[in-house]
């Protein structure tokens, strides 16, 4: 074969060589097991330094034409040193290579999150190359393995879709914080704020669940019945210095959203407010932050003061006392004043709680305060985390009622009943 | 002068063996004899008369002058009616004894020559030759009539808007089509014989006061250095004059549209024509001339640019979709949105082959259908192609040999490849596609990008007749910037600077 | 077959020149050079390219004055002319050696980026080999073609960076930029002057002077490229800070790639694989240009006419030198830091020296 000259031969040879051997990073899609969520828990009765890993693996076959009757997911739990190492150990049970390409969530048990060593495992995620930095941190009341097993959505069965939708909706309604991993790192490293993770559970509280205010609940306290999933995503887990210290209710989470410039504005917060004209009723309102909050800081003083002005735009959706606010300026003013007072009170309560119970705020005000300093040493000298509990904080709500629902006027109740 | 050069070359070859024995008699030095019978006998031997069926020798007696004459022509390529009416009849009926032969014969073109070789060339080109007794020169009467078809619509470069004439296999008609569009005395049509035995002639067309002399000279010298017996047509000639013979990128443009050829002429390019070629060659060709079509300029600016965008998109789709699929599925799984990823994974679950092999299999099948579709007799061709592709794809999916998504990917790439009209560029893109698929299979995106970078380096380093392949984009030249997009006609005021035209401005 | 030749016999135009320079130096913001700046300067790191840029105007302007004074003489000829045979050789050799070290260190780091960020299981030698193969092929094509390629791809590279920055800006927070002066205003200026070597590569650009069409183009092109690089660098550094805050960013080896992993756009959650190809093209072109310029300098030093034949040898040498380091992310980074500290004063002093000698010899009066 004189036709094929040497360079050609070499090229062909190297091509085949590469084709045969050069498949180092080559993996076929169908030979991967896609982990959607990783659970981390403290194993019981095992020596220190181990962690219980739970994998929630999506099954691509679910809903496919062939083999569509396979279950949508697979769950496996075991104890291991860290979740990098876990990938190999999982293969003793799982047939395919574990892939973190679809990984979107880290589920941590409340008990483990409150452990001092928790942060050490969290930093493993910065080492693994295929870990995305925008993973979300979810704290479950029970152990993650129980959480995942109990979580059986009836309709959105495919786990990645289910979590995706829950989070998207939660973000829009402001019931759960974003809880992204990179902000966890950032907040932990800067040591000035607390981080809000998502709080969830599959176990419903048995008694006294239903509280007076339907918003003052966290996951597990929402009383739902019927034929549906028992999992609840509500409220946030508060992490201070990389360790969980407390929880926030739905309302508190929403108030945090309103008080912070850092969080993305939730699109629709629907909440009930006391009706100033009738104590028996409540007004359902849609609240939005109207632009950024305005902060006025005086940090030079012995006792630093902060004046916070929160611009709120509000829409009154229901009107059970059947008052026609729209026609009466005085009534409107009264309504506005009342709502402003309620909100201010709520904000103040939350701030007080953060000052006294957490000793740090989740609103990211320290970032705004950074503008007051010229250099990082000065700022670190000030020590926001330490100073915060002693600060004097004045909240001022700047309320604007935007609309009164679709149909503005209501019939006079007395006339109707007459 | 060039003819002389050419002859000189041939003499050198004459002693090169028995190959040219038949042509020995055409030696330039040999002249015709003044004695008619001797001359006629020479030509009888040359043309193997009377074995050679269509060679005709007609002996006539010219009345009035009272001389014998003989008319030699090849009847199949000569217009016998013209010879009959305008040559034979006047010669026979002449009564005047003082008149010259030139004045007797009423064909439009007449010339005299003495050399046997020249006479042979003329006869081979369809002229009739009149020998007259006691005269040392022969009269060459132009009455050639080669058979060819009429002007038809272009078949490969179709347009919706714009002229619908195409070149045919007759060079004189083609030149006429060009002259019809450039009515200017500066349009020059030179000829040059490019083969030794068949004496094929190439016509070099350019505009004298626009085209740079260097380029014309380069083209001529390339044609001149060819050393072959026969070049049937331009498609073969193209391969003799192109720069690199193994490069996958074409460097000479082949167009069957006279309007396209003319627009290149007007920009200072050189156009080559030949008999037996229903097209023309444009030299030098840049990458952009393969990417453009004539319709881009016939359509209004927004529409024209829209089709350009589509074509560019099609080009990239053809090049990259299959490779991208392979790279993404085997190396960069994280690129795919979750739902799609799971969908792909579930369809691939039952496919026994790795993705690279799966794609190659489908690609080859597609190319096979395409090639077979071309060779199939025309009435059933298109049906076979489409039906074959659909049925094959469908069946392959149902048999779990390929996953449905691969059929989509390959079909999309294959379909897009049709948007690149020029056949040479089409092949270049289709071939590169395979290389990209393999690169993607070996190294994923890294391999693809490495190959792409190598490709770009190669592309910019190509020179055709001294013109950079990606000019005027890079290196930059003064031009109308007709590259990816075209400009408003009013703004296209410069000829391409890389052609170094004698007249830079178009208006 | 005719010799491949461009319109100006291998010279490049202003567009190509700017593209080469910007790609050569501008790609620094995507590697670990940023780590050099973030560690000492935290969130004020973005000021470095600006302050440095202003500082670097002095040496660049002086060198510009000296080298453009002699038409058709490159840096090498000029230094021979000014310093005499031995000193010039010594200075240029040092310059070449530093350049060579830069190539080895940088290619090793880029291999490491590709290896740790995208190709975990592929052996370094294969990644490195392919990288240098492409660069060697490109360098063999000569300056004119390198320029053409640089100009062809530059708009897309710039656009991809721009898109990344835009998304990063929209997903980051401006608050992270404060306190404005990071570790303190004085510190910023001090550290800036230590790291002025990020513009060191401009020295090598002067070797290209005789290959640029016109002196005017060279002058204009250098300043345009200089400004583009400074702007790109500052914007990129700002975007990293806005996304990660200074604590996180100071700990990262390759913030650009971390940023790509963090941001998302619409339904595309993993943007890194979409931007990666553009970054790769940029890297290929960058090292092609480096390799070419370095070899040009070397060839002039040892007086080799046909240095194209040296390219494959050098490329292979670089691969093996680069592979010596066991842990490129750490060792190469430290080496780079050391070189940066050493070369910073040199970058400042050398052009001034050129100018003083030229002035002293009365060259400008001629």
Provide the token pair at C64: 């510009």
Whole-angstrom Cα distance, residue B429 to residue A205? Answer: 66
Residues paired with residue A270 on neighbouring β-strands, in sequence order: A286
Q: What percent of chain C has pLDDT over 70?
A: 97
Closest to A24 in 3D by CA, of B357, C125, C271: C125
Question: What is the pLDDT, as a whole number, of residue C88?
Answer: 87
Give B216-243 pLDDT, tens digit per residue.
Answer: 999 999 998 888 889 988 999 999 988 8
Whole-angstrom Cα distance, residue C207 to residue C293? Answer: 7
**Min distance A178 CA to chain B CA atoms (Å):** 20
Q: What percent of chain A has pLDDT over 90?
A: 0
CB of A377 less than 8 A from some CB of C? yes
DSSP string computed for A28-87? -GGGEEEEEEEEEEPPTTS-TT-EEEEEEEE-TTTT-SSSTTS-SEEEEEEEES-TTTHH
What SS3 state is found at C34?
helix
Q: Cβ distance B284 to B251 under 8 Å?
A: yes
Mean pLDDT of C147-152: 91
Question: What is the pLDDT, as a whole number, of residue B257?
Answer: 93
Closest to C20 in 3D by CA, of C187, C148, C186, C206: C148
Position with higher pLDDT, A23 vs A88:
A88
Same domain, B304 and B442: yes
Q: Cβ distance B132 to B125 under 8 Å?
A: no
Same domain, B245 and B329: no
Please give the model's pTM, rounded to 2 decimal places.
Answer: 0.88
Q: Where are the domains of chain A?
A: 27-248, 250-418
Residue C5 pLDDT more than 50?
no
Residue A147 pLDDT more than 90?
no
Residue with tokens 């909240």: A395
Question: What is the pLDDT, as a whole number, of residue A45?
Answer: 67
Question: What is the pLDDT, as a whole number, of residue A418?
Answer: 67
B7 CB neighbour count, 10 Å cutoff:
15
Optimal mutation site among A25, A98, A372, A375, interface C, most CBs of chain C within 10 A: A375
Pairing of strands A282-289, A105-109: unpaired
Option in A130, A189, A376 nearest C248 (CB): A189
Residue C358 pLDDT more than 90?
no
Same domain, B408 and B305: yes
pLDDT band at C77 (very low <50, low <70, confident <90, very high): confident
Residues paired with residue A287 on neighbouring β-strands, in sequence order: A269, A314
**Set of chain B residues whose Cβ sits within 8 Å of the Cβ of C149:** 453, 456-457, 460, 474
Question: What is the pLDDT, as a whole number, of residue B204?
Answer: 94
Same domain, B89 and B191: no
CB contact under 8 A, B450 and C134: yes
Whole-angstrom Cα distance, residue C269 to residue B335? Answer: 8
Mean pLDDT of chain B: 85
Same domain, B124 and B223: no
Give B146-172 pLDDT, tens digit per residue.
Answer: 888 889 999 888 888 989 999 999 898
Whole-angstrom Cα distance, residue C225 to residue C227? Answer: 5
**Min distance A246 CA to chain C CA atoms (Å):** 25
Option in C117, C121, C246 nearest A24 (CB): C121
Give B453-498 pLDDT, tens digit per residue.
Answer: 999 999 999 988 888 898 888 888 888 888 889 989 888 889 998 8
CB of B346 less than 8 A from some CB of A? yes
CB contact under 8 A, C4 and B470: no
Tell me how many helices (H) and strands (E) chain B has.
Answer: 18, 12
CB contact under 8 A, C119 and A24: yes
Same domain, B198 and B337: no
Highest mean pLDDT among A129-138, B26-35, B200-209, B350-359: B200-209
Q: Which chains are within 8 Å of C by 3+ CB pairs?
A: A, B
Output helix, strand, coil percentages for chain A, rounded to the nearest 5. 35, 25, 40
Give A210-255 pLDDT, tens digit per residue.
Answer: 555 666 777 777 777 777 777 888 888 888 888 888 888 888 888 8
CB of A67 less than 8 A from some CB of B? yes
Whether residue B155 lies inside any domain: the answer is no
Whole-angstrom Cα distance, residue B290 to residue B279? Answer: 15
Q: What percent of chain C has pLDDT over 90?
A: 24
Residue B21 pLDDT more than 70?
no
Question: What is the pLDDT, as a whole number, of residue A66?
Answer: 60
For residue B338, what are the domain limits? 299-464
Q: Cβ distance C109 to C332 under 8 Å?
A: yes
Question: What is the pLDDT, as a whole number, of residue A350?
Answer: 86
Architecture of the domain made up of A250-418: 2-Layer Sandwich (3.30)
Option in A24, A130, A367 nearest C175 (CB): A367
Same domain, B103 and B240: no
Give A123-139 pLDDT, tens digit per residue.
Answer: 877 777 677 777 888 88
Question: What is the pLDDT, as a whole number, of residue B9?
Answer: 41
Least confident residue range of A288-292, C59-63, C278-282: A288-292
Whether residue B480 lies inside any domain: the answer is no
Domain end, chosen from B222, B251, B285, is at B285
Mean pLDDT of A378-401: 82
Whole-angstrom Cα distance, residue B296 to residue B303? Answer: 8
Max Cα-Cα span within chain C: 65
CB contact under 8 A, B449 and C269: no
CB contact under 8 A, A30 and B442: no
Question: What is the pLDDT, as a whole number, of residue A170?
Answer: 84
Question: What is the pLDDT, as a whole number, of residue B383?
Answer: 66
Provide the token pair at B304: 């024209």
Whole-angstrom Cα distance, residue B222 to residue B231? Answer: 14
Same domain, B405 and B450: yes
Closest chain A residue to C252, measured at CA: A126
Within 8 A by CB and 6+ apart from C55, the residues are C192, C193, C196, C348
**Set of chain A residues whose Cβ sits within 8 Å of the Cβ of B441:** 19, 26
Same domain, B336 and B435: yes
CB contact under 8 A, B342 and A28: no
Whether residue B344 lies inside any domain: the answer is yes
Whole-angstrom Cα distance, residue B84 to residue B104? Answer: 13
Domains and CATH numbers, chain C: 14-354 (1.20.1740.10)
CB contact under 8 A, B475 and C6: yes
DSSP string computed for C120-157? SSS-HHHHHHHHHHHHHHHHHT-HHHHHHHHHHHHHHH
**Set of chain A residues whose Cβ sits within 8 Å of the Cβ of C42:** 376
Residue B12 pLDDT more than 50?
no
Burial of B163 (0-12, 13-18, 19+ CB in 10 A): middle
Residue C200 pLDDT more than 90?
no
Q: Pseudo-torsion of CA C221, C226, C232, C233, nearest 10°?
A: 160
Position with higher pLDDT, C129 vs A45:
C129
Number of domains forming the structure of chain B:
3
Phi, psi of A17 (to 5 degrees): -55, -45
Position with higher pLDDT, C164 vs C325:
C164
Same domain, B281 and B312: no
CB contact under 8 A, A185 and C269: no
Question: What is the pLDDT, as a whole number, of residue A416?
Answer: 72
Residue A185 pLDDT more than 70?
yes
Distance of CA C92 to the CA centre of its chain: 19
What SS3 state is found at A20?
helix
Same domain, B279 and B310: no
Residue A306 pLDDT more than 70?
yes
Whole-angstrom Cα distance, residue B381 to residue B384? Answer: 5
CB contact under 8 A, A158 and B343: no
Question: What is the pLDDT, as a whole number, of residue B183?
Answer: 93
Q: What does DSSP assign to residue B151? A: P
Same domain, B118 and B183: no
pLDDT band at A90 (very low <50, low <70, confident <90, very high): confident
**Min distance A224 CA to chain B CA atoms (Å):** 30
Whole-angstrom Cα distance, residue B468 to residue B490? Answer: 26
Q: Which chains are within 8 Å of A by 3+ CB pairs?
A: B, C
Give B261-317 pLDDT, tens digit per residue.
Answer: 999 999 999 999 998 899 999 988 999 999 999 899 999 999 999 999 999 999 999
- Helical spans, DSSP H, in B242-353: 258-266, 287-291, 295-298, 301-330, 338-348
Question: What is the pLDDT, as a whole number, of residue C131?
Answer: 92
Q: Which chains are within 8 Å of B by 3+ CB pairs?
A: A, C
């Amino acid at each position: 074969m004189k036709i094929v000259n040497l360079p050609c031969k070499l090229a062909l040879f190297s091509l085949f060589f590469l084709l045969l051997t050069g498949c180092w990073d080559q993996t076929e899609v169908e030979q991967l097991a896609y982990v959607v969520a990783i659970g981390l828990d403290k194993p019981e009765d095992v020596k220190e330094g181990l962690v219980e890993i739970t994998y929630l693996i999506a099954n691509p076959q679910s809903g496919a034409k062939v083999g569509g009757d396979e279950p949508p997911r697979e769950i496996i739990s075991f104890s291991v040193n860290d979740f990098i190492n876990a990938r190999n150990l999982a293969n003793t049970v799982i047939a395919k290579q574990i892939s973190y390409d679809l990984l979107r969530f880290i589920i941590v048990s409340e008990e483990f999150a409150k452990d001092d060593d928790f942060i050490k495992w969290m930093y493993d995620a910065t080492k693994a190359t295929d870990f995305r930095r925008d993973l979300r941190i979810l704290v479950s009341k029970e152990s993650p393995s129980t959480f995942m097993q109990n979580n059986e959505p009836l309709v959105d069965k495919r786990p990645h879709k289910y979590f995706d939708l829950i989070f998207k909706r939660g973000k829009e309604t402001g019931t759960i914080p974003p809880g992204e991993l990179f902000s966890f790192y950032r907040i932990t490293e800067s040591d000035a704020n607390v981080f809000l993770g998502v709080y969830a559970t599959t176990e419903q509280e048995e008694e006294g669940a239903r509280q007076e205010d339907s918003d003052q609940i966290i996951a597990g306290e929402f009383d739902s019945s019927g034929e549906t999933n028992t999992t609840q995503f509500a409220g946030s887990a508060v992490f201070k210095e990389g360790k969980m210290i407390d929880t926030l209710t739905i309302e508190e989470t929403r108030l945090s959203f309103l008080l912070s410039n850092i969080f993305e504005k939730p699109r629709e917060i629907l909440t009930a407010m006391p009706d100033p004209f009738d104590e028996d009723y409540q007004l359902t309102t849609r609240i939005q932050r109207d632009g950024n909050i305005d902060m006025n800081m005086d940090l030079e003083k012995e006792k630093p003061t902060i004046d916070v002005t929160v611009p709120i735009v509000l829409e009154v959706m229901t009107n059970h006392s059947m008052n026609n606010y729209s026609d009466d300026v005085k009534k409107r003013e009264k309504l506005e004043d009342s709502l402003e007072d309620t909100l201010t009170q709520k904000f103040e309560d939350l701030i007080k709680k953060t000052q006294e119970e957490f000793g740090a705020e989740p609103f990211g005000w320290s970032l705004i305060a950074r503008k007051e300093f010229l250099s990082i040493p000065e700022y670190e000298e000030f020590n926001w985390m330490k100073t915060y509990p002693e600060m004097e904080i004045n909240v001022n709500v700047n309320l604007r009622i935007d609309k009164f629902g679709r149909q503005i006027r209501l019939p006079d109740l007395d006339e109707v009943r007459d | 002068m060039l003819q002389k050069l050419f002859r000189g070359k041939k003499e050198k070859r004459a002693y090169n063996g028995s190959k040219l024995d038949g042509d020995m008699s055409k030696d330039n030095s040999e002249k015709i004899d003044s004695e008619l019978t001797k001359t006629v006998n020479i030509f009888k031997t040359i043309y193997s008369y009377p074995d050679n069926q269509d060679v005709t020798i007609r002996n006539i007696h010219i009345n009035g002058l009272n001389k014998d004459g003989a008319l030699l022509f090849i009847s199949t390529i000569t217009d016998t009616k013209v010879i009959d009416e305008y040559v034979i009849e006047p010669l026979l009926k002449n009564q005047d004894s003082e008149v010259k032969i030139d004045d007797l014969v009423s064909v439009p073109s007449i010339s005299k020559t003495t050399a046997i070789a020249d006479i042979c060339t003329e006869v081979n080109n369809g002229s009739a030759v009149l020998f007259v007794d006691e005269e040392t020169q022969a009269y060459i009467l132009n009455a050639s009539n080669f058979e060819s078809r009429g002007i038809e619509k272009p078949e490969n470069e179709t347009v919706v808007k714009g002229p619908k004439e195409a070149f045919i296999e007759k060079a004189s008609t083609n030149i006429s089509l060009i002259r019809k569009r450039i009515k200017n005395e500066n349009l020059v049509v030179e000829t040059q014989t490019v083969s030794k035995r068949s004496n094929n002639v190439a016509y070099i067309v350019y505009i004298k006061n626009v085209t740079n002399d260097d380029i014309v000279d380069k083209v001529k010298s390339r044609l001149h250095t060819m050393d072959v017996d026969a070049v049937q047509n331009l498609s073969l000639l193209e391969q003799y004059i192109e720069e690199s013979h193994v490069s996958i990128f074409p460097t000479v443009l082949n167009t069957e549209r006279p309007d396209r050829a003319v627009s290149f002429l007007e920009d200072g390019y050189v156009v080559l024509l030949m008999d037996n070629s229903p097209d023309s060659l444009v030299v030098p060709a840049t990458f952009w001339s393969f990417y453009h079509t004539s319709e881009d300029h016939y359509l209004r600016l927004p529409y024209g640019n829209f089709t350009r965008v589509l074509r560019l998109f099609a080009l990239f789709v053809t090049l990259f979709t299959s490779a991208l699929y392979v790279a993404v599925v085997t190396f960069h799984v994280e690129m795919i949105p979750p739902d799609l990823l799971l969908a792909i994974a579930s369809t691939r679950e039952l496919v026994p082959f790795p993705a690279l092999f799966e794609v190659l299999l489908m690609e080859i099948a597609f190319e096979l259908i395409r090639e077979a579709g071309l060779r199939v007799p025309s009435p059933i061709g298109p049906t076979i192609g489409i039906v074959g592709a659909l049925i094959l794809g469908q069946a392959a999916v149902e048999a779990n040999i390929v996953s449905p998504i691969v059929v989509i990917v390959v079909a999309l790439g294959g379909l897009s490849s049709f948007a690149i009209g020029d056949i040479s560029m089409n092949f270049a893109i289709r071939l590169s596609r395979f290389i990209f698929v393999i690169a993607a299979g070996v190294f994923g995106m890294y391999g693809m990008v490495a190959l792409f970078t190598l490709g770009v380096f190669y592309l910019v380093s190509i020179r055709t007749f001294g013109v950079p392949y990606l000019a005027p984009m890079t290196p930059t030249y003064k031009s109308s910037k007709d590259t990816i997009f075209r400009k408003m006609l009013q703004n296209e005021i410069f000829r391409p600077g890389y052609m170094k035209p004698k007249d830079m401005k178009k208006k | 077959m005719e010799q491949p030749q461009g319109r100006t016999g291998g010279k490049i135009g202003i567009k190509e020149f700017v593209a080469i320079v910007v790609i050569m130096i501008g790609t620094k913001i995507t590697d670990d050079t940023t780590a050099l700046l973030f560690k000492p300067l935290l969130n004020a790191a973005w000021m470095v390219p600006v302050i440095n840029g202003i500082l670097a105007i002095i040496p660049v302007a002086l060198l510009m004055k000296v080298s453009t004074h002699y038409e058709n003489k490159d840096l090498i000829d000029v230094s021979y002319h000014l310093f005499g045979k031995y000193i010039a050789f010594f200075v240029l050799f040092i310059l070449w050696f530093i350049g060579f070290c830069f190539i080895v260190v940088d290619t090793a780091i880029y291999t490491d980026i590709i290896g740790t960020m995208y190709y975990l299981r592929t052996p370094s030698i294969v990644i490195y080999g392919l990288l240098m193969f492409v660069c060697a092929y490109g360098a063999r094509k000569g300056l004119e073609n390198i320029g053409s390629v640089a100009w062809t791809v530059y708009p897309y590279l710039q656009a991809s960076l721009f898109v990344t920055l835009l998304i990063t800006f929209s997903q980051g927070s401006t608050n992270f930029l404060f306190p404005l002066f990071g570790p303190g205003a004085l510190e910023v200026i001090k550290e800036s002057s230590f790291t002025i070597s990020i513009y060191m590569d401009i020295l090598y650009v002067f070797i290209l002077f005789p290959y640029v069409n016109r002196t005017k183009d060279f002058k204009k092109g250098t300043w345009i490229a200089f400004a583009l690089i400074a702007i790109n660098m500052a914007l990129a550094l700002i975007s990293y800070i806005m996304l990660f805050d200074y604590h996180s960013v100071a700990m990262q080896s390759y913030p650009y790639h971390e940023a790509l992993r963090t941001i998302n756009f619409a339904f595309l959650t993993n943007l890194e694989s979409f931007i990666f190809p553009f970054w790769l093209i940029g890297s290929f072109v960058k090292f092609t240009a480096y390799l070419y310029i370095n070899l040009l300098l070397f060839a002039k030093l040892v007086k080799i006419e046909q240095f194209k034949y040296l390219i494959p040898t050098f490329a292979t040498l670089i691969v093996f030198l680069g592979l010596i380091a066991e842990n490129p992310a750490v060792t190469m980074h430290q080496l780079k830091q050391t070189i940066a500290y050493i070369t910073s004063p040199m970058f400042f002093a050398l052009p001034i020296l050129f100018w003083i000698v030229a002035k002293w010899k009365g060259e400008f009066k001629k």
